[in-house]
Chains A and B, each alone.
Chain A
Amino acid sequence: MLKTVAGNSLQGRLLRRIFAICIIAIAVTFLTVYTQMDRSLDMLRDRTVEEQARDLSAYLVPGRSVNKAAFALPDRIRLFYAKAGPAYQYLVRDKGGQILFRSPYAYASYFPAVPAQDGKFNFVGPSGYAFKGYALRETLGGNDYDIEVAQTTRAAGMMSDQISDSFMRHLVWIGLPFCLALLYIIMSTVRRSFGPLAAAAREVGRVSITAPELQVREEELPDEIVPFIKAINFSFRRLAKSLREQKELTANLAHELRTPLSVLKTNIEMQGKTPQSAKILRDVDAMIKLVNQMLDMTRLEYADTIEMKDVDLSSILSQVCQDLWPLFLKAHRELRVSGVDAPVTVRGDQDLIYRAIRNVLDNALEHSPAKTPVEVSLSGCAIRVRDHGATIPEGLREKIFDRLQRAPSAASRAGAGLGLSIVARTMEIHGGRAGLEPAAGEGNVFLLDFGTAQGRKAAA
């Protein structure tokens, strides 16, 4: 399977970048809105003094005497200016600069006698507060009057602070769910878009060397991935080809080696039975055994190319027993088999299983004393081979399954110590276990357990 290196995931990288971009975009938007709002608040403040001036101008009316204007402020407005204290001020002067009307707290001396062209003015009041003001020229009955309104910037600032506070609160309440929704949508969109990639990865993992079509399906994949999959498929094809060639080579090698060994053996046998020829024959047999075991080991090296099928453990065991029985008969040894009446299905390679059992049975025949029987049984998915030889000491029980490991007592016998390592490896490949237990009384029990998980007993 494909492994994701932390921080190296395309999806993660993309998500991180999109998130960063989103956060920057949101921040920029927020800042823009905020400054924009501040500016409009400023304008609002400006307009406020301007409007106040205009408001007030409406109440400037011609007076009873000529050249005298009257200021008919409603009580409501008069009260406002009275209550606001120095924060809001106004005054009205005539052309000569004479103050005609004023709010109670107006800092009259700070107001410009002659207003600027645009009407705007600023001053700092006696207590240090800054003031912003506006002067409006009004003509009434041929006379010009200046209506001047001032207001502390603090009042204006306070107002804008309040507004921006509530704006922020709104922003959080509206913005947070919006951001979360955005996050979710981005994440699910990215996930969805990467779906085909993950599917392709699963597909690549699913393809096994032994599958008949060693190919990842290219349909339904996004165009960007297809070149990768094509490349993978190409190397899969090459791999399959070279594995096939390796396997064939091994098989051919088996053939090529067995035939000359047959010639050798037949020719020696034709010399007639002499002590000398018997000795040579034993050596040839040892060599044949070694060649066979080496071929088995080569096959086990290419475990990936082994095709697992449903096989009947019971009939394989029965076959091994039938094939080896003549050797037992020749040695006047008894072979007892049990548990092979009903089929027991496991997933595996029947030739590998056959030879694993055979190796154990060969050992029982070879390494246990004459006249003693050997018992073979199948129960569940476990095969047991029990002999009545000397019990293998505890310290050796694990070791003899290693390559080239033999008990000192076996030194005089033919064999290289490969048999049980082949057995152990075969069991490993089948998800099972090879083990050795002391038998009750004297002897050994070799266990080939194919595991309860993979076995299911079929009805006979």
Chain B
Amino acid sequence: MRILLVEDNRRLSEAVQESLMKAGFEVDPVHDGDGALAAASGQQYDAVVLDLGLPDMDGIEVLKKLRARRDTVPVLILTARDALSDRVDGLNKGADDYLVKPFETEELVARLKAVLRRPARALDAVLTLNNLSFDTISREAVVGASRLGLSRRETDLLEQLIRASDKIVTKKAIESRLYSYEEKGSVNSVEVLVHRLRKKLLAQEAGIEIHTLRGIGYMMTGSKEC
């Protein structure tokens, strides 16, 4: 996995580069916006870690230029700006995730891995998380050799959660994806669905957990033990 690291602070760049390399990534460090755009057009990266405060242009500009030339490379913004508006702006402009400095290296690696799991381009992508793999074409969820045998809605839910693994998916987002307007009547239908999916994943020892943030939503993660 090859990562483009855009960070103007040399000391931080070195430190991040080292810790990412320790986690098994290959890292190309650049220190300004022009360098980032040049590097990204010369090579297909698996992900970009992007600082917003660059000497020659704002990181958001880099992101906009990348997206403007149809580069769908996953971008993780790493910045000292912690204002909500900055974060919303970054995500709206096409960033895949947003991490505020100072951060935990572990957190950065986990988020990067999560971002890398989301196949934005690959049509034949198979999403995997621990023992679970999900084929987005055949829409089949498999643990090891055995199928999970999910209903249509359970499959939709699984896809939504695994695509956003390590990130919260709100109940509202699930409802609007899974149910048509008239069907929303039953309040706890999402809860029932999550409960069933969780049971099936557990039964097959998929090494998957679905955490509940009660009142807000759900998050799928791979269990630590696996």
Contacts and interface: CB of A to CB of B under 8 A. Distances in A.
A178 B74 CA distance: 88
Contacts of A350: 84-85
Nearest to A350: B84
Interface string A7-31: 0000000000000000000000000
For the complex of A and B, the 10 pairs showing the least CB-CB separation, nearest first, are A337-B215, A258-B80, A266-B15, A262-B102, A336-B214, A255-B80, A262-B101, A269-B105, A258-B101, A261-B102
B23 to A, nearest CB: 11
Nearest to A376: B215
A117 interface: no
Given A255-B81, A322-B213, A340-B216, A269 B9 contact: no
Contacts, number: 87
A354 interface: yes
Contact of B104 (A269, A321, A325): A269
A267 B213 contact: no
Interface string B204-226: 00000001011111010000000
A266 B78 CA distance: 13
Interface string A179-203: 0000000000000000000000000
Interface of A: 254-255, 258-267, 269-270, 284, 288, 292, 316, 318-319, 321-322, 325, 329, 334-341, 350-351, 354, 376
A266 B84 CA distance: 24
A259 B22 contact: no
A354 B82 CA distance: 11
Contact of A319 (B19, B84, B102, B104): B84
B218 to A, nearest CB: 11
B141 to A, nearest CB: 24
Range of interface residues on chain B?
Answer: 20 to 34
B12 interface: yes
B105 to A, nearest CB: 4
Contacts of B59: none
A49 B100 CA distance: 115
B168 A266 contact: no
Interface in B168-226: 168, 170, 172, 211, 213-217, 219
B56 to A, nearest CB: 16
A254 B100 CA distance: 12
18 contacts: A254-B80, A255-B53, A258-B80, A263-B11, A265-B102, A266-B15, A266-B19, A267-B15, A270-B22, A284-B102, A319-B84, A321-B216, A322-B216, A325-B219, A337-B213, A341-B172, A350-B84, A351-B82
Given A263-B9, A319-B84, 17 more contacts: A259-B9, A259-B80, A262-B101, A263-B11, A265-B103, A266-B15, A267-B15, A269-B19, A270-B22, A270-B105, A288-B102, A318-B170, A318-B216, A325-B213, A338-B215, A339-B215, A351-B85
A262 B12 contact: yes
A165 to B, nearest CB: 85
Interface of B: 9, 11-12, 15-16, 18-19, 22, 53, 80-85, 100-106, 168, 170, 172, 211, 213-217, 219
A364 to B, nearest CB: 15
Nearest to B108: A266
Contact of B16 (A266, A318, A334, A354): A266
A391 to B, nearest CB: 24
A365 to B, nearest CB: 14
Task: With a 10 A CB-CB cut-off, give which of B11, B53, B84 has the most chain A CB atoms.
Answer: B84
Contacts of B168: 322, 325
Task: With a 10 A CB-CB cut-off, give which of B22, B83, B85, B216 has the most chain A CB atoms.
Answer: B216
Contacts of A316: 84
Contacts of B104: 265, 269
A329 B211 contact: yes
B19 A336 contact: no
Nearest to A325: B213
Task: With a 10 A CB-CB cut-off, give which of A255, A319, A338 has the most chain B CB atoms.
Answer: A255
Contacts of B80: 254-255, 258-259, 262
Nearest to B51: A259
Nearest to A284: B102
A325 B84 CA distance: 17
Contacts of A270: 15, 18-19, 22, 105
A47 to B, nearest CB: 99
A288 B172 CA distance: 34
A374 B217 CA distance: 16
B181 to A, nearest CB: 13
